[in-house]
Amino acid sequence: MCKVAELRVVCLPASTGLVVRSTCVTTITPPGTSQHFNHSNHPSSVWWNIGVQLKPYSKRVWCIVCVLQPKPENAITVAVSSRVLFNMDTEQQISQQKGMEAYLKYQMEHEVEPFVPGPAFPFVKALEAVNTQLRVLYPGSEELFDVVLMTNNHATVGIRLINSINHHKLSVERFCMTGGNSPIGYLKAYHTNLYLSANSTKVIEALEEGIAAATIFRPEKAVEVSETQLRVAFDGDAVLFSDESERIFKTQEKLFNNKFKNESFLLSFLNRFLESLGKLQKKFYAKDQRMECPIRTYLVTARSAASSGTRALKTLRSWGLETDEALFLAGAPKGPMLAKIKPHIFFDDQMFHIEGAAELGTVAAHVPYGIAKTFY
């Protein structure tokens, strides 16, 4: 039994072939409409059995799902700053040019105006899309993505942030507003698996605390990405693995000449997040949903397959992550490949690749970890 925060109508492809028990008394909403059932409409003591009721309309399946707030220790927690979730360029400029009081006054005067989406917005929406399907396949499970808004904004700005989240129908329930202080100290308390920010200094602080983190860069042009499938692309050296092979590559130019006999790389922090993705993928595979899995991962590396392909793929396999696609480019630029993939996010440790990806419309996340940041 789990306490329900919200009941939501969702529409899924009929091809999913779901067989789900019906334990909630619910109302099916016809196609073309949507409806939310807030828990506030019911006594606070109401508890619901978790389940869904299905009814087909044409080629779609409409159902009521119970939206649960997972316990932090059971969830895959992604903390995002307000400046990557929303576009706050105007507000940031006011803060820098006119000071904090003018910034807070502006926010209060415009608190009924929702922020427009920022670079991490599609990524967050994709996480929620995965959650929707997980709740249908595994009613009551708390192995879900949990997004936390982590910001050093004052609580005064919280009203506009809450209004914006409600306006865009985001399922972000956990907030951390630190009133000018760094929020990094709260990341572990929120059981954070991944932290995304526009502030590279905070990202480095998070990495020093042992938390996977990356600096988000806004793409130079808008590109439509999937609304139903989460696509995560990542480089290998220093991002997924340790920077040991990157160090060898930078200093000796060829990985063939390295002295390491072990066929697996040392780990970096990001592997913990990707390992969690692998676990969720397997939950879909267990329900015979491999081809319809809403999570797809891509290894995109400048290395050649001959020099490091076997080690990279074996390491990923040992973590339980079945990479869907692996692209070994042998020095070719990554931007055009990423433009084809259209990932929600691409992790890399070298700004050269970050800039190339952003130029062609990819939301790029810089991981300032290891030797690459020294050579750049």
Question: Catalytic site residues?
Answer: 235
Q: Are 235 and 347 in contact (CB under 8 A)?
A: yes
Packing angle between helix 121-137 and helix 270-286, nearest 10 degrees? 40
Q: Are 150 and 176 in contact (CB under 8 A)?
A: yes
Q: Is the dihedral of CA 19, 20, 26, 30 positive or negative?
A: negative
Q: Beta strands 192-197 and 174-177: pairing type?
A: unpaired
Tell me the C-alpha distance between 155 and 318, whole Å.
44
What residues form DSSP beta bridges with 113? none
The count of other CB atoms within 10 Å of the CB of residue 302 is 20
17 Ramachandran zone, left/alpha/beta (phi>0; psi -120 to 50): left
Rounded to whole angstroms, what are the CA distances from 361 to 219, 324, 336, 341, 355?
5, 22, 10, 11, 10
Tell me the C-alpha distance between 374 and 176, whole Å.
32
Tell me the C-alpha distance between 233 and 65, whole Å.
30
Q: And the tokens for 76?
A: 């895959």
* Contacts of 223 by beta carbon, 8 Å cutoff, 6+ apart: 339, 342, 360, 361, 362
